[in-house]
Homo-oligomer: A and B are copies of this chain.
Amino acid sequence: MSRKKETYRVVIVGGGFGGLNAARNLNDKNIGVTIIDRQNHHLFQPLLYQVAMGALSPADIASPLRYILRKRKNTKVIMGEVRDFDPENKKVFFDNGEIAYDALVVAAGSTHHYFGNDDWGVRAPGLKTIEDAVIIRSRVLRAFEAAERERDPEAIKSALTFVIVGGGPTGVELAGALREIAADTLKGDFRHVKTEESRIILVEGTGRMLPTYPERLSTRTEDRLRRIGVETRTGCLVTGMSETEVVIRCGADEEVVPARNVIWAAGVKASPLGARLAEVTGAEIDRAGRLVVNNDLTLPGYPDIFVIGDMALCRDDRGEPLPGLAAVARQQGLYIARALKKRVRGKDYKPFRYLDLGSMATIGKAAAVVNFGWLKLAGYIAWLIWLFVHLMYVVEFENRLLVLFQWAWSYVTGNRSARLITDYSKWHVDK
C-alpha cells in the first residue's frame, strides 16, 4: 500500500465496539487508519437476541463498516480475516494480503466457549453473529412447526422444550423473549399446538441469575422470570446433551430433560487471535484466552500493540477484571484514539480508567433490570431506561428510526414481523 512519508499507520483488527470507536475517533490527518474485519458490518450486539427471536431484522442492527466510516477519508476498510502477526517487523497478515503498521489495535472480540465440549456447538448454537441469530431464529420457529405436525404427546413436549444454558444477561434476555413469543406472539397461529405450554428452562451455574448484578436485582429477575413462566435453575450445570435430551445436574441430582432445543449463552472466550498474539509476543494469557495488558492497554514489551475489548484482561482500581461489555470496549477504543493522537504529537497520556456507566438487561416484555450503582431498578421504568439507552446507541440515525418504528409497532400490536424460517444448507461456498 502506498503512503505519504509522514503518515502514522494505525491498523485496527476488528470492527466491533472497540475497533470501530477507535477508528471513529482517530480523526487526525497525520494518522492513516486501516480497519480489518472478516464481516463487512458493525453489529449492535446488545440487540442481537431480538434478531434471534424474530423481533428485528439483521439489517436493523447492523451497518456496513464502510458506510459508517465513509466520510473518514484517512480511513480504509478491508474485509478480510486476520491470520497472523509479526510484531518484530510490525506486520499483520490476513487471508488476502498483509499490511504494515506503526501501531496495532487488536479488538477481535470473543467467541462461544463450550468448556471443552466443542461438539455441542451444532446442537446448542450460541449468539455472536448475524448468522448465529438467523440459525437460532430458524431453529426456534421450526420447533413450533415440528410440534404442530407431531401427534405423539411426548414428541410434542420435547419439541416445545427449550433449554437456555447460562443465566447472564444474554440468557435472561433470550429466555424472556422466547417466553413472550411462545405465550403471546404465536398464540392463535397454530391449530393443534398450545404454544403457551412450551417449557423454557434457564440454567445458571452460579447461585443466582445475573451473577454480576447486585443480589437484590438477581432476586427480582428470578421472580419476574418465574412469574412470566420461565423455569429457573440456579446452581445447575448442563452436563450432556443428545438429539432429544439435555442432562441438567443440580448438586448431586441429575435430571434428563426431553428437549430438542438448546441455546448456548454460558460463556465466551477471547478470539483465537489472542493465543496467536500471545505466542509471538510472549504475553500472558488467562483461561478465557484474554491477554493481560498494561494500564495503557498495550502488551508488556510492545508499546505499539494495543489489545482491547473482550480480548483484553484489564483490571479496575480494585484489581477486578473489567467485564466483557460494549461500554468497556467503547471506552477503550476512545482511549486509544486519544492516546495515539497524543503520541504522534509527542505528548504524554494517562493510563486507561474505566468509567462504570452501569449495566442493564431486559426480562421479557416491558420489564428490565438496571444497575447504575447509584440507581438499582427492576421493572417497567427500568425497561423504559433500557429502551432509551439502546435507541440512543444504535449506531446510525437511519437504523435508529427504523428500529424505533418497528419496536413501537410490535409493542402496540404484540406482533413480531421477522419470523422467517430460512434454510441455507445449500449455501454455495463463495469464491
Contacts and interface: CB of A to CB of B under 8 A. Distances in A.
Interface string A25-58: 0000000000000011100000000000000011
Nearest to A67: B189
Contacts of A424: 131, 134, 424, 427
Contacts of A415: 67, 398
Given A76-B191, A96-B149, A402-B405, A430 B423 contact: yes
B149 A97 contact: yes
A415 B402 CA distance: 13
Interface string A135-152: 100110110011011000
A128 interface: no
A135 B423 contact: no
Contacts of A135: 427-428
Contacts of A76: 191
Contacts of A40: 141, 145, 419-421
A409 interface: yes
Given A40-B145, A122-B428, A431-B260, A406 B402 contact: yes
A64 B131 contact: no
A285 to B, nearest CB: 26
A161 B62 CA distance: 27
A116 to B, nearest CB: 20
Q: How many copies does the complex hold?
A: 2
A20 interface: no
A125 B57 CA distance: 23
A413 interface: yes
Contacts of A130: 420, 422
B422 A58 contact: yes
A401 B410 CA distance: 13
Contact of A66 (B70, B189, B405): B189
A170 interface: no
A21 interface: no
Contacts of A6: none
A64 B141 CA distance: 10
A63 to B, nearest CB: 7
Interface in A66-97: 66-67, 70-71, 76-80, 96-97
Interface in A378-431: 396, 398-399, 401-402, 405-406, 409, 413, 415, 417-431
Given A40-B141, A189-B66, A425 B421 contact: no
Nearest to A244: B431
Interface in A283-313: none
Nearest to A59: B418
Nearest to A68: B189
A211 B203 CA distance: 61
A418 B39 CA distance: 14
A37 to B, nearest CB: 11
5 contacts: A41-B421, A70-B188, A79-B142, A80-B149, A405-B405
Given A66-B189, A79-B148, A97-B149, 16 more contacts: A40-B420, A40-B421, A41-B421, A57-B59, A59-B419, A59-B420, A62-B420, A63-B417, A70-B188, A78-B149, A79-B149, A80-B149, A134-B424, A243-B431, A398-B415, A402-B402
The 9 closest A-B pairs by CB, nearest first: A424-B424, A59-B418, A57-B57, A66-B189, A424-B427, A40-B421, A79-B145, A57-B59, A425-B429
